[in-house]
Structure 1
Amino acid sequence: MLTEEEINNAQATLNELRVEHRDLNLIVEHLSATPIPEQDQLLIHRLKKRKLSLKDKIYQLERMLVPDVRA
């Protein structure tokens, strides 16, 4: 069971991760929509990996905050 402080900290972190994920998504969409040099493809790849990492962290925090309910 998490304390109220742990829950608040996790929710704050979750909000920050969601904002960062959204921002990265916008950047990747913008970069992908414009013709870019080959070396920038590596940048897009790194940004996508970071997005995926953030998505995993978001999922973990959500699972921690929302306990499984057995029917």
Structure 2
Amino acid sequence: MSLSAHLNELKKKHEHLSTEVEEAQRAPGVDDLRVAELKKQKLKLKEEIQRLSA
């Protein structure tokens, strides 16, 4: 897999997690730990994208 293809895949996963976080925050009764875990995953992806883009 080329670097650009890998970056595109990471960006898609990041966008998907963004959507998941937004939906989880709007849903009643969602576990705060679940939202925190999603945000943590999203941040790790963002850091990886930035690292590979540099």
TM-score of the superposed pair, with normalisation by structure 2: 0.90
Give the AA of the match of 2:47.
D
* Number of positions where the alignment pairs a residue of Structure 1 with one of Structure 2: 54
Runs of 4+ residues over 4 Å off in structure 1:
none
Give the share of equivalent positions with the same residue, in percent: 39
Unpaired stretches in structure 2, ≥5 consecutive residues: none
- Alignment RMSD, CA only? 1.3
Unaligned runs of 5+ in 1: 1-7, 64-71
TM-score, scaled to structure 1 = 0.70
The structure having more radius of gyration, on CA atoms, is: 1
Corresponding residue SS for 1:35: coil
Partner of 2:48: 57
Distance 2:29 2:11 in 1: 27
